[in-house]
Amino acid sequence: MVLATKKTSTMTFRIDEEVLNKLREESEHRETSLNTFVNQIFKRYVEWDMFESKVGMVPVAKPIIVELFGKMSKDEIIDMANRIGKNVVRDIALFMKGDISLTSFLSWFEVRMKASSIEINHNIKNGYHTFIVKHDLGDNWSLYHKTVLDLIFVDVLDKKVQFDYNAGMISFKFSD
């Protein structure tokens, strides 16, 4: 099996020495090269950070999310997902990816979860894609995302999906 190599370019930057020292320290802490670490920073910027404020995203601490979602009833969660969740998520994914297809949406969703410090795992086995999202944000957060994702998969992507969720995790599965 031959792995495709990505085309790279060499550039030179002048970087504040204090910033460079912090980048070096962090790359050592992560046990990765400075070059790899800086590429990860640039990638996150072009995939997420440059769009975040343009699409109205605001960072909110996880304990606040847990508290807010925990105060709502299941009916309120489902109502919010139906009224605004589907359209907001679809529009943000479209804005950031340029189109809305199964591939572009899943790519956006994975980047969103990673940018939110939420663990996500994608497996493909016997023609089935399985996504497992570990979040520890509560049952209502799972219910909200299950509802929004189900609406997008069915109404926008025309794809039937099986869901399972609990207070710390949501998983969904669909065929190729």
Q: What is the pLDDT of residues 96-112, one digit of tens each?
A: 999 999 999 999 999 99
Asked, for residue 137, whether it belongs to a domain, the answer is yes
CB of 154 within 8 A of CB of 160?
A: yes
Quick check: 61 pLDDT over 60? yes
Per-residue confidence (pLDDT) for residue 111, from 0 to 100: 94
Q: List the domain range (segments joined by +) for residue 127.
A: 62-175
Q: What pTM does this model have?
A: 0.85
Residues 6+ apart with CB under 8 A from 106: 122, 129, 131
Do residues 110 and 153 share a domain? yes
Task: Give the model confidence (pLDDT) of 1-42 as tens digits.
Answer: 556 678 889 999 999 999 999 999 999 999 999 999 999 999
Asked, for residue 10, whether it belongs to a domain, the answer is no
Angle, helices 34-44 vs 17-29, to 10°: value is: 100
Mean pLDDT of 141-161: 97
CB of 147 within 8 A of CB of 82?
A: yes
Asked, for residue 160, whether it belongs to a domain, the answer is yes
Do residues 106 and 37 share a domain? no
Report the C-alpha gap between 145 and 129 in whole angstroms: 18
Do residues 107 and 156 share a domain? yes
Task: Count structural domains, the chain.
Answer: 2
Do residues 46 and 80 share a domain? no
Q: What is the mean pLDDT of the chain?
A: 94
Q: Which amino acid is at 89?
A: V
